[in-house]
Structure 1
Amino acid sequence: MADPTPAEVQSYIEAGLPCQSLSVEGDGRHFFATIVSAEFEGLTRIKRHQRVYAALGERMREQIHALSMKTLTPAEHGATQ
């Protein structure tokens, strides 16, 4: 199985998690994502990451070697702008 591109990882996340903003960078094995979603409201950072992993499903075991992420609510994202 070929390594996924950042665009593919982005589409996988978008398919399983409604995002107000999403960007993914990476080299095919290691990725960094900045994810803004209202679904993160009231969740701890660990629960937010678990929500992203659930959206990626088996791809985290089979295709994506490492994923670092910054998970923000829309309010948190607005405060950093």
Structure 2
Amino acid sequence: MDSCGPEHIEVLDKKINALGDALAHLGQGTSLKELLRIIRFPGYTTPAEFAFSVAMLDSMALQTRMLEQMGDHLLSAAKQVGREQR
């Protein structure tokens, strides 16, 4: 099996760092902090808006768990590849 050259590693390095930066920014939770402030305004939500908000938050939480699981699987697979080459 052919191995990738340095240019492939550079592409992966950039993508991994960009994803890490995006996740770090997301992890600051600034949007959610602002949302917590807004929901306290008098008359913020109707029953329909409440249902929509709950559905969106549940979906975001599920996607966050899936993203964490995907990262774990990617790391686990990468560790297996590294062992095979040694």
The verdict on a shared fold, with TM-score over 0.5 as the criterion, is no
TM-score, structure 2 as length reference: 0.23
Higher helix fraction (1 or 2): 2
Structure number with bigger Rg: 2
Name the structure, 1 or 2, with higher relative contact order (CA <8 Å, separation 6+).
1
